[in-house]
Amino acid sequence: MKIVNEAVKTFSFTSVIFSFVLFLKLLHCGSKEKIKSRSRKSFYSLLIFLGFIYFVLVAGQSAFAEERTDRYRLVNFDLLGAVFGMARVEYQQNIDEKSAWAVRGIFWHSTTESWKWDSYGGGFSYRKYITHNAPEGGWIGGGIDVLYTNAKYMGKEDNGYFVFPHAEAGYTFSLTPHSPPYQPPLSPPSKGGDKGEVKGGDTKGGWLITPSVSLGNYIGNIEISNSNIPISGAGMRLSVLVSYLF
C-alpha cells in the first residue's frame, strides 16, 4: 500500500497546485469582472472534484489492502490524440491482477472554421481486465474528466468547465519479445518448507501499445453570439496509448 499512498498524495498535491496556478493565470489575464467571478467559481468547483477523486482513491484502498500482488505501474502517452491536438499523459497502476486505476493530465487545442479553444484538465479511470491478467489483454472500464476551456468565436471569448463521464474499452499488446502476461511472481511457501513455485513471467521494463475508445457525454456549454461550442453533448475519443511498464 505504500506505492498507492504515495501516488494518491502526489496526485492530490500536484492537482491542487495546478489548479491554483491556473486560477492565478486567469485572474491575471481576465480583465473583466465577469471573467474573474466565473474563474473563482470554476476554481472552487475543480477543488471539489479533485477532493472527490482523492476520497475515491483513499476509500478504494481498503478494497484491495489485503491483496498481495506486484503493483505494476505504467506511464501512458496518447499518440493518436497528440496528432489531433490532444496531449494526454496517464499514470496507471494495478489494483490486483485483474484491475487497475489511472489518473491523467490533459491539454486539448482545437480549431474549426469559426471556433478555437484550449482545454486543460485531468481525470480518473478504473479498468477491468477480462481476457488476460493486467496490464495486458482486453479491458473495459469507466472514467471521468474535467476540462477548463477557453473558447474564441468570431473575435469574442468565453470560459467554462466541461465534465466528461465516459465508458471505455481497449486491448493492450506487449511490444517486448517473449513477454508473458502479468502473474503474481511467487506463491506463498507451504508449512512443510517448500519454497513455492513461480506462477508466471515478468513484463517489467517493457513497452506496450493500447488501441482504445471512450464513449461519453460532455456536460457543460460555452455559448458566444448564440452559437454553441462544437464539443457540447455526446462525444467519442479514439486513442492509441504507448506505455512504458516499470
Which residues make Cβ contacts (< 8 Å) with residue 15, sequence separation at least 6? 50, 53, 122
Confirm whether 40 is domain-assigned.
no
Model confidence pLDDT, tens digit, residues 164-189: 999 999 999 999 864 444 454 555 55
Q: What is the CATH number of the domain that holds 96?
A: 2.40.160.20
Domain extent for 203: 68-245
Nearest residue to 67 (alpha-carbon basis) of 188, 179, 171, 205:
188
Confirm whether 241 is domain-assigned.
yes
Mean pLDDT score of the chain, rounded to an integer? Answer: 75
pLDDT above 70 as % of the chain: 60
Confirm whether 164 is domain-assigned.
yes
Per-residue pLDDT at 5: 52
Which residues make Cβ contacts (< 8 Å) with residue 37, sequence separation at least 6? none
Model confidence pLDDT, tens digit, residues 207-227: 999 999 999 999 998 988 888
Phi-psi sector, 4: left (phi>0), alpha (psi -120 to 50), beta: alpha
Confirm whether 174 is domain-assigned.
yes
Statement: residue 28 has pLDDT above 70: no
Q: Which three cell numbers stand for residue 11?
A: 496526485
**Total number of domains in the chain:** 1
Confirm whether 17 is domain-assigned.
no
Q: Are 149 and 118 in contact (CB under 8 A)?
A: yes
Q: Are 163 and 151 in contact (CB under 8 A)?
A: no
CA-CA-CA-CA torsion sign (155, 159, 165, 169): positive
Confirm whether 186 is domain-assigned.
yes
Nearest residue to 9 (alpha-carbon basis) of 53, 71, 45, 62:
53
User: Is 29 strand, coil or helix?
Assistant: helix
**Can you tell me the distance from the alpha carbon of 211 to that of 239, in angstroms, rounded to the nearest whole number?**
6
Model confidence pLDDT, tens digit, residues 153-165: 988 999 999 999 9
Higher local confidence (pLDDT), 198 or 151:
151
103 pLDDT band, cuts 50/70/90, is very high
Statement: residue 198 has pLDDT above 90: no
Confirm whether 33 is domain-assigned.
no
Nearest residue to 75 (alpha-carbon basis) of 102, 110, 114, 113:
102
Q: State the first-to-last Cα distance of the chain, in angstroms, to the nearest integer.
A: 17
Q: What angle do CA 68, 73, 207 make, to 5 degrees?
A: 130
Higher local confidence (pLDDT), 38 or 227:
227
Confirm whether 97 is domain-assigned.
yes
